[in-house]
Amino acid sequence: MHRKNNPLIVQGDKTVLLEVDNPNYQKVRNSIIGFAELEKSPEHIHTYRITPLSLWNAAASGLSVEEIIDSLKKFSRYDVPQNVLRDIIEYTSRFGKVKFIKEDGNDNLILYSADEFFIEKVINYKIIQPYIEAVIDKNRLSVKSQYRGIMKQLLVKMGFPVEDIAGYHEGEPFSISLLDETRTGKKFGLRHYQVEAVDSFYQSGSVRGGSGVVVLPCGAGKTIVGLGVMDQLKTQTLILCTNVIAVRQWIDEIIDKTDISAKDIGEYTGEKKEIKPITISTYQILTYRKDKTSEFPHFSLFNSRKWGLIIYDEVHLLPAPVFRITSSIQGTRRLGLTATLIREDGHESDVFSLIGPKKLDIPWRDLEKDGWIATAVCHEIRVNLKSDLRMQHAISTPRIQYRVACENPKKIPVIEKLYERHKGDNILVIGQFISQLREISEHFNAPLITGSTKNADRQKLYSKFRTGEIKLLIVSKVANFSIDLPDANVAIQVSGTFGSRQEEAQRLGRILRPKKDGEYAHFYSIITRETADQKYSAKRQLFLTEQGYNYDIIDGETLF
């Protein structure tokens, strides 16, 4: 059947084409992002793909097979291919087909499936055999508790995601409450979507709650969701962050918004080694070791107390060693927080297996419409490569070509124009290459923050930026994550980590906190035309395009 006004074309290879200029574009996009992943987004047709992982996350979030198929049939221009419908039914039904459960009187885990043929298939899967303790009957296998995570990873690779309802140990109790007026005179409340996030994770304390990922845009209060979960569980908690600045922001938020005393909060970083009922650490300190053959000396932190909850901030950045230790502590409740689940190494399935499925993912534009994050306008400014660099660019390796294009000196006059246009605004210039950032810093006589800047100096500069003493701040990729600069309203990106979609999202996130009087935030990406800089820029924009942001293309040459 041909429905010429519908904007979707579903193809047999499970790609889904969405017509951008169709009046129903926004409505249809919102209906398919729950079960399909964006692959490319040129001007007129966006390409999504339905994958096993996207369907398993959809099933875990409560989307039914019927809802997925109805969305495709309702908006598809042509009949949905039968093989696609069969695969959606097949893959979606696999979530929950095999479960981890606990049985009274048995210390081991039980891998259960109502399908005896599936259990037989698992028994004969050679890579899984070493982790099977015993065959109980045709529907149940006994598995040692320490292999809970490894089995979940292997079964996902086998194509059968485990629904883990074996429950968790309670951890050491610790009283935690969000502030209320009756005790302190200071009221603090969660926003409606933060309550929804906490509830979707906690699930009234049932075995189906207690592990998973909450996806919210930067500036929407992911930390507050973490505090809300801590309030529900009331247990000793370990929080893992990207850097020391983020650790101290967590500490400030906990002290400001809960009844926890500062003496009960520990900082476990390169600068301090405190272990308290609430301990906040960094991925860097946990993955430190003297050399590649040495043990990780700080992994003992995971067992230093009876943690009832581990919070993984910016969970999409989880390093491989932390994945490994997490696979052995599946009996602890785990909350992942992130603005995007995209991992450039393709290990999203490990986040799904070891942290848990996606519990909540609210479109950025929905929160923008309700005023919870700033309205952002994205611009891509294209400049020509400086003429005396063209030969160097032409004869170099691809990696050097990219760097030459990124460090194009013609970007500095564009920054000057934008600086004049946004005089009085709070401007961040963000880039990848330190030599480029130093040149910009010297040109504008503006402070620069890089990985070598001491934490104390970073905090002073961030503080001056917040108070308005500094209006222009140059930052390297160390500022991609977990910096709280609520008044930043202009970000100028001069270079990035190749085609990193999550980095693009994080950089826009630096300016998304709501502004006074509802003023717009502006995100500029300056790129060199017809080079790898432009190619990677297009890839970087994919995630934000999926969220509904459009990039206004500007000819940088006309700005001079």
pLDDT tens digits, one per residue of 384-415: 998 888 888 888 898 999 999 999 999 999 99
Does 437 lie in the same domain as 357?
no
H/E element holding 45? Answer: strand 45-49
Please determine, for residue 545, whether its predicted confidence score (pLDDT) is greater than 70: yes
Q: Which CATH number fits the domain that encloses residue 417?
A: 3.40.50.300
Does 345 lie in the same domain as 439?
no
462-469 contacts, C-beta under 8 A, 24 or more apart: 462/245, 465/426, 468/426
Tell me the pLDDT band of 340, cut-offs 50, 70 and 90: confident
Instruction: Give pLDDT, residue 241.
Output: 93
The answer to whether the beta carbons of residues 270 and 215 sit under 8 Å apart is no
Neighbours of 257 (CB within 10 A): 19
Q: Which CATH number fits the domain that encloses residue 127?
A: 3.30.780
Asked if residue 186 is part of any domain, the answer here is: yes
Asked if residue 173 is part of any domain, the answer here is: no
Q: Which residue type, as a one-letter code, is found at position 107? A: D
Does 375 lie in the same domain as 230?
no
Asked if residue 126 is part of any domain, the answer here is: yes
Residue range 246-257: mean pLDDT, rounded: 93
Instruction: Give pLDDT, residue 182.
Output: 47
The tokens for 348 are 């999203």
Q: Which residue type, as a one-letter code, is found at position 329? A: I
The answer to whether the beta carbons of residues 398 and 390 sit under 8 Å apart is no
As to burial, measured by CB atoms within 10 angstroms (0-12 exposed, 13-18 middle, 19+ buried), residue 28 is: buried
Q: Which residue has the higher pLDDT, 362 or 528?
A: 528
Please determine, for residue 537, whether its predicted confidence score (pLDDT) is greater than 70: yes
Does 122 lie in the same domain as 71?
no
Asked if residue 318 is part of any domain, the answer here is: yes
Distances from the Cα of 227 to the Cα of 176, 257, 268, 358, angstroms: 9, 8, 19, 18
The domain boundary, picked from 309, 329, 362, lies at: 362
Does 210 lie in the same domain as 156?
no
Instruction: Give pLDDT, residue 105.
Output: 66
Tell me the pLDDT band of 194, cut-offs 50, 70 and 90: very high
Does 461 lie in the same domain as 532?
yes
Asked if residue 248 is part of any domain, the answer here is: yes
Per the structure, the complete domain to which residue 113 belongs is given by 98-164
Asked if residue 3 is part of any domain, the answer here is: no
pLDDT tens for each residue of 200-228: 999 988 888 899 999 998 889 999 999 99
Please determine, for residue 174, whether its predicted confidence score (pLDDT) is greater than 80: yes
The answer to whether the beta carbons of residues 521 and 377 sit under 8 Å apart is yes
- Give, to the nearest 10 degrees, the angle between helix 192-202 and helix 222-233: 50
The tokens for 295 are 């043990």
Q: Which residue in 473, 478, 477 sits closest to 461, CA to CA?
A: 473
E strand segments, 508-556: 521-528, 551-555
% of the chain surpassing 70 pLDDT: 97
The least confident of 157-161, 173-177, 361-365, 456-460 is 361-365
Tell me the pLDDT band of 416, cut-offs 50, 70 and 90: very high
Instruction: Give pLDDT, residue 560.
Output: 62
Does 102 lie in the same domain as 156?
yes
Q: Which residue in 214, 225, 206 sits closest to 168, CA to CA?
A: 206
Does 347 lie in the same domain as 284?
yes
Asked if residue 149 is part of any domain, the answer here is: yes
H/E element holding 426? Answer: none
The domain boundary, picked from 77, 94, 111, lies at: 94
Please determine, for residue 13, whether its predicted confidence score (pLDDT) is greater than 90: yes
**Residue-averaged pLDDT of the chain:** 89
As to burial, measured by CB atoms within 10 angstroms (0-12 exposed, 13-18 middle, 19+ buried), residue 11 is: middle
pLDDT tens for each residue of 512-526: 887 777 788 999 999
Please determine, for residue 417, whether its predicted confidence score (pLDDT) is greater than 60: yes
Distances from the Cα of 281 to the Cα of 123, 212, 302, 374, 507, angstroms: 40, 20, 11, 30, 23
As to burial, measured by CB atoms within 10 angstroms (0-12 exposed, 13-18 middle, 19+ buried), residue 454 is: exposed
The answer to whether the beta carbons of residues 84 and 116 sit under 8 Å apart is no
Does 373 lie in the same domain as 335?
no
The Cα 353–Cα 212 span in angstroms is: 9
The tokens for 180 are 């209320």
Question: For the whole model, what pTM was predicted?
Answer: 0.88
The domain tally of the chain equals 4
Facing residues of 430 across strands?
A: 475, 493
The tokens for 328 are 């052995």
pLDDT tens for each residue of 40-81: 777 788 889 999 999 998 998 888 999 999 999 999 999 999
Does 333 lie in the same domain as 234?
yes
The Cα 558–Cα 560 span in angstroms is: 6
The domain boundary, picked from 94, 112, 139, lies at: 94
Instruction: Give pLDDT, residue 419.
Output: 94
Instruction: Give pLDDT, residue 554.
Output: 92
Does 198 lie in the same domain as 338?
yes
Does 504 lie in the same domain as 388?
yes
Residues 6+ apart with CB under 8 A from 277: 172, 174, 236, 237, 264, 305
* Rounded to 5°, angle at Cα 157 from 152 and 159: 95
Task: State the DSSP string of 508-555.
Answer: HHTT-SPPGGGPPEEEEEEEETTSHHHHHHHHHTHHHHHTT--EEEEE
Asked if residue 174 is part of any domain, the answer here is: no
Instruction: Give pLDDT, residue 152.
Output: 93
